[in-house]
Amino acid sequence: MDLIERIINKEAKIGVIGLGYVGLPLVIEFCRAGFHVTGFDVDGEKIAMLRDGKSYIRHIDASRLAKGSGLRADGTAELIFTPTNDFSLLADMDCILMCVPTPLNRYREPDMSYVFNTARMVAKYLRKGKLIVLESTTYPGTTDEDMRAILEESGLKAGEDFHLAFSPEREDPNNGTHSTRTIPKVVGGYTPRCLETVRTLYDQIVINTVPVSSTKVAEATKLLENIYRSVNIALINELKMLFDKMGIDVWEVIEAAKTKPFGFQAFYPGPGLGGHCIPIDPFYLTWKAREYDFATRFIELAGEINTSMPAYVVDKAILALNDAGKTVRGSHILILGLAYKANVDDDRESPSYRLMEKLEALGATASYHDPYIPMIKPTREFPQFAGRRSSEIDNGYDLMIIATPHDDFRNIDFDSLQVPVVDTRNVIKEKNKLCYSA
C-alpha cells in the first residue's frame, strides 16, 4: 500500500516537529481526523504539560488536550497523540511536518538554523516513501534547494525515494471566525507526485486545499500575504503621524473610508508591528532579492516606518509628561498590554518590549500590565525583561501607555485614575485632556 492510500485509510503516522502556535493546532486537527500523531519538541516543559493534558497556549483550551477529549479516536479508548522529545521516533513516522521558528538575526537576515538543524535531524531517520513538509515561513527556494540538499545527504532522492513539499502556515491566534480547519491550505510539491501526496494529507483536515505549481510558489504566496499587510500598515502608520500634525483623527478617517463597498480595505495604526509574521517575513524576500541584484524598496520603506513607531510613541509620552510638569527620567510608566494583539497571550516581537527598552534607556521605570501574560518568559531579543511580572493598574504611575487593545482595557475608568494616558489603539473613545492619541 502506497502512502496516499495509507493517508486516506488513516493508517499513516503523522509527526509534527514544533508544538507552538502552528504545530499544536495541526496536532489537534490530525487527531480529530483519526490519525496517530506524535508531537516533537525540544522544550521538556511543554512535553510534560501536554502529557498531563494541559495547554500552554491560552486560546487553545486544555479540554482539547485532556485525556478522553478529541485527541482519541472516535469510539475507542486508544490514545492517538504522543508528545515527546525523543526524536528517534521520527523513524516511525510516515508524514513529518516541520513547524519550527524562522527568526531574523541581529542584522535582520534570515536565521535558518532551526529549519536546517531540524532537516538534518529528519535526514538521520529518513526512509523511503516518507513525506516531509515544511510549514515555516521562509524565502523561495528553501524547500527544493536548501532543505532538499540536506535531506538528500541521507542517500535518498527527493521525488523518487521520498516526497517533499511546502505548505505555509496561516494561523491567526484567537481568530473567532477562521480556524486551522476552515482556512484554505496552500500546498506545493517538489514533483507532481509530491503535490498529490501533500494535498491528500491536508485534504483530511482542512475544508479546502489550494495546490500550486511548485514549492517556490507556495513559499512566495506566504510572503506576499504578509508583505501586503506590512506595506499597508506602514501606510496607515505614516498617515497617522501626518494627520496628527494636521489635527485630524486618523481613526475617524478610517471609519469613514471603510464605508466604501469596493476598492478599500481598512488597516489600523499602532505602536509598531508584532507577532512572528509581519515584522519578520518580508525581510526574507528582501534578503533573497539581493541574490538577483534587486532592491525591494517598498518592503524596506515599510519596514523603516513600522520600526520607527515605538520612537513616535515615546515622543508622545515625553510630551504628555511635559504637560504634567514631569520629565521622562525618574518617571514610572505603566504599559498596558504586552501581547502583540488583543486577547491573546502571544508576545512574539511585541512592540511593547521596544517601548520598555526605549523608556528605560531615557531613565524611566517601565512596568507592564497584561491579564494574559502574568510573567515575562525568556526571549531571544529582550532577555533583560525575563521574570518581570504584570503590575496592577492604579493611580501610582506618572503615565500609562495603551499598547494592546485587550477588551479588558475598554472597561477601565481612566478618568477616575487621573493619570495621563497615551492611547495608541483608540481604546478610549471619549478622550479628555489627559488622553493623548498616538
Is pLDDT at 176 greater than 90 in this prediction?
A: no
pLDDT in tens, 200-249: 999 999 999 999 999 999 999 999 999 999 999 999 999 999 999 999 99
Q: Cβ(187)–Cβ(209) under 8 Å? A: yes
Residue 356: per-residue pLDDT: 97
Across the chain, what does the average pLDDT equal?
92
pLDDT in tens, 314-358: 999 999 999 999 999 999 999 999 999 999 999 999 999 999 999
| Confidence category of residue 108, pLDDT binned at 50, 70, 90 | confident
Q: Return the closest-CA partner of residue 370 out of 11, 58, 14.
A: 58
Residue 107: per-residue pLDDT: 79
Is pLDDT at 77 greater than 50 in this prediction?
A: no
Q: In the CATH scheme, what is the code of domain 3-211? A: 3.40.50.720
Query: What class does CATH assign to 270-437?
Result: alpha beta
| Confidence category of residue 179, pLDDT binned at 50, 70, 90 | confident
**pTM: predicted TM-score of the whole model, two decimal places:** 0.91
Dihedral angle, C-alpha 52, 57, 63, 64, nearest 10 °: -100
Phi, psi torsion values for 290, nearest 5 degrees: -65, -30
Domain ranges of the chain: 3-211, 270-437
Is pLDDT at 8 greater than 60 in this prediction?
A: yes
Q: Which residue among the candidates 95, 99, 277, 435 is catalytic per the annotation?
A: 277
pLDDT in tens, 363-374: 999 999 999 999
Is pLDDT at 118 greater than 60 in this prediction?
A: yes
Q: Percent of the chain at pLDDT above 70?
A: 96
Q: Cβ(150)–Cβ(119) under 8 Å? A: yes
Residue 54: per-residue pLDDT: 85
Active site residue 435: no
| Grid coordinates given for 341 | 494583539
> In angstroms, rounded to a whole number, what is the distance separating the alpha carbons of residues 83 and 37?
8
Q: Which H/E stretch holds residue 336?
A: strand 332-336
> In angstroms, rounded to a whole number, what is the distance separating the alpha carbons of residues 181 and 126?
28
Residue 15: per-residue pLDDT: 97
